[in-house]
Structure 1
Amino acid sequence: MPSRRPVPPPELRKTTTPCWADLSLRCKPLKHVAFKIHTDALSSPKRREDPAPPGDAPDLTGLLSDEILIRILSHLPPPLRESSGLVCKRWLRLLDQLRRSLSLLDWSFLDSPSRRLVVRFPELTDVDLVPASISPPVIPSGILLNRGPVSVRLDSEFETPNGALPWGFITECRFLPSKVVDRGLEILSRGCPTLRKLSLVAVASELGLMKVANECPTLQEVDLHRCTDTSLRSISAFRNLQILKLIGSMEGLYDGPGVSDIGLTILAHGCKRLVKLELCGCEGSYDGIGAIGRCCLMLEELTICEHRMDAGWMAGLSFCGNLKTLRLQGCRRIDLDPGPIEHLGSCPTIEGLHLQRCQLRDKRSMNALFIVCEAVKEMVFQDCWGLDNEMFGIAIICRYYIDKHVL
């Protein structure tokens, strides 16, 4: 039989202190204890939630209706309103409804199957179509020509063969075809019937302008570039027109037939509710200005810029019985031959005379101007040439002359 080792009595057995390894083997694993503690913490009613990631945060604005959210976004400052459209598609859609003015740079944004302009911005009230109405250059030169509010990208071959620059960089063929402009005007007028101001080039046909007048009854202000006598025949269709700007030619950009006494007479009989009228690069004479004075009885402000008027046009101002302000801008001459002083007449309602960037060396024309504006109370001279003490001495003709500003 195998020998058995004697077992020592209990009182002689060696007692040892349990180690951590033995406890870990005898007790439940610590990971279960940790998991239980974590579960209890989550199930406690007084737990503290960890902040959710930004991507998973709930959209609290989703509880608001479109009408309420639009009212909130409308109170944002303009810089913040422009960047708020990057938040989400809904904000972008609502902010597009708040946009009121827009300058179109690409005609395809208006005249395309999707009609993106009128779909995105249905509440527009001020639209400028002039930049998009100019055909883009075939080979861009990288040169941007600015002339007042108009900017044009020049073609790489805008120079003449002898190296000299032509008088006008944009000819008639550089504008969009009339059919294309008419189609765009039809889309715009039907999609934005609340228009109040429209700037366009007069390459549109008479039918195209008539569509705008019929679809947009609230239209009150029109800027018509490269205007001609023919393009003014449909101007009478704008029943509520109050502010009109006619640009016959713009030196350095384009030249055209311009507006003569015929066009001014058509304008006078068609727009009798005009309050402000601006003539830029227009021709005419005493007959045209006199017709405007006789027919447009509500006219209060007349601006003549870079005019090509015939001699004696200034005498027609005496027929403007309600004119308050007369502005002359960029005029190389005031009037070549104002005529006899006894035939000039006067406009007793003119209170403000503003001369900006004008040649004032002709004492005879300045004397005639002060006689016509004898009741003026305020004069403004800004960046004018030819001013001297004798010129200011002529101003004594004005009976109620009160204030003078030289800038």
Structure 2
Amino acid sequence: MFRPSDITLCETFSVHLNSHFSEPHFLPVEVIDRGLTELASGCPNLRKLSVISATELGLLTVAEECSTLQDLELHRCSDNVLRGIAACGNLQVLRLVGCVDGFYGAVVSDIGLTILAQGCKRLVKLELSGCEGSFDGIKAIGQCCQMLEELIICDHRMESGWLAGLSYCENLKTLKFVSCNRIDVSSPGPGECFGVCPALERLHLQKCQVRDKKTAKALFVLCGAVREIVFQDCWGLGNDVFSLASHCRRVKFISLEGCSLVTTDCLETVILCWKEIESLRVEACKNIKDKDISPTLSTLFSLLKELKWRPDTKSRFASSAAGTSIGKKGGSFLDEHSESQGNTQGM
């Protein structure tokens, strides 16, 4: 039997469902709410909670009883559910999962985004997965959640023009897109009319489609102050889109992984625009080749603080190559590097 003092020491509580479960297997919401009521009563010092299928009433109970709650993850979340977190005055990390294709569906729209913006003004990190909404909802978050430093957008269903709302997130430092079939719908508006995120330092895109040039230009203009750009397994990222990254003039770190359409020449053109570049990582990008390394690009490599170069499994050019120069495009540098590697192994 638990003593009351034992229960109040509880700081983390989560419920994990088997991946084979589908919507009919979820517990009834009244059962979830009763559990949340018991949890709130027994664990007033609760700091982290992950829950599926909660209601407004159940979350309101937790918010009122657990004033120290800082980290909340809501699956199968909807606009009405978000009314229950308005009393979470100390909430700093929030993950909302609305719709998951083939698993469950729920709608988080501008209504829900505005509710959370007005009630959770101390948010530092926000993740929106499978959520709807538009410019208005994102703008509300930017205006109300002025402490927000990290925003993660996963598999979103947002309306055209939502991207421009990010310019209201004045203290945002990290912006991540994960598994998004699109960044914005068609034309989000002229890039020159976009505001910027002045504090933004990191832009990451993972498993996203980025083939639309107008959207890409708007994104890079919005993120013009970034110091770090990461592309990982993004389809549609060709030279015409990647070249637009030159709008970001202060980049110090760039990473390309699984981006098979970008060529060596385009990579060179872009990174030569970045006068502050310090680190470069290239992995599994089959159209970036050793033989296409120019003397200019080699010279730049020698100035980098960090270099990871593995564009394909045949590449002979490795991280330790930084600091070595070549006299002509490609060949002699690679031969020199291979020879030095052989001499090192023979010592």
Question: How does the TM-score come out when normalised to structure 1?
Answer: 0.60
Q: 1:211 aligns with which of 39, 57, 61?
A: 61
The answer to whether the aligner puts 1:248 opposite 2:98 as a matched pair is yes
What residue in structure 1 maps to residue 36 of structure 2?
185
Correspondences of 1:274-313 after superposition (within 5 Å): 274-313=123-162
State the shift of 1:118 in Å. Answer: 8.2
1:333 counterpart SS class: coil
Q: Distance in 1 between matches of 2:143 and 2:167?
A: 10
1:272 counterpart SS class: coil
Q: Deviations over 1:375-402 (max 9, x none)?
A: 1110011121122333322111112122
- Given residue 28 of structure 2, which amino acid in structure 1 is its aligned partner? P
For the aligned residue pairs, the C-alpha RMSD in angstroms reads 1.9
The answer to whether the aligner puts 1:152 opposite 2:19 as a matched pair is yes
2:254 counterpart SS class: strand
State the shift of 1:123 in Å. Answer: 2.6
State the shift of 1:119 in Å. Answer: 9.0
Q: Distance in 1 between matches of 2:104 and 2:57?
A: 24
Mark the structure with the bigger radius of gyration. 1
State the shift of 1:367 in Å. Answer: 1.0
What residue in structure 1 maps to residue 49 of structure 2?
198
State the shift of 1:284 in Å. Answer: 0.7
Q: Distance in 2 between matches of 1:254 and 1:388?
A: 34
Q: 1:270 aligns with which of 113, 119, 122?
A: 119
Question: How does the TM-score come out when normalised to structure 2?
Answer: 0.70
The answer to whether the aligner puts 1:125 opposite 2:11 as a matched pair is yes
1:307 counterpart SS class: coil
Correspondences of 1:79-158 after superposition (within 5 Å): 123-131=9-17, 151-154=18-21
What runs of 5+ residues in structure 1 fail to find an aligned partner? 1-113, 132-150, 155-169
- Given residue 179 of structure 1, which amino acid in structure 2 is its aligned partner? E
In 1, are the aligned partners of 2:191 and 2:217 still within 8 Å (CA)?
A: no
1:152 counterpart SS class: coil
Q: Distance in 2 between matches of 1:125 and 1:350?
A: 32
1:384 counterpart SS class: coil
Aligned residues with identical type, % of pairs: 55
State the shift of 1:121 in Å. Answer: 6.0
Q: Distance in 2 between matches of 1:118 and 1:320?
A: 42
Q: Distance in 1 between matches of 2:70 and 2:223?
A: 29
1:237 counterpart SS class: coil
Q: Evaluate the alpha carbon distance shift between residue 340 and residue 332 of structure 1 in structure 2; reply closer, same or farther with a 3 A threshold.
A: same
State the shift of 1:120 in Å. Answer: 7.2
Q: 2:180 aligns with which of 306, 331, 335?
A: 331
1:393 counterpart SS class: helix
1:204 counterpart SS class: coil
In 2, are the aligned partners of 1:185 and 1:212 still within 8 Å (CA)?
A: yes
Q: Evaluate the alpha carbon distance shift between residue 341 and residue 392 of structure 1 in structure 2; reply closer, same or farther with a 3 A threshold.
A: closer
- Given residue 113 of structure 2, which amino acid in structure 1 is its aligned partner? L
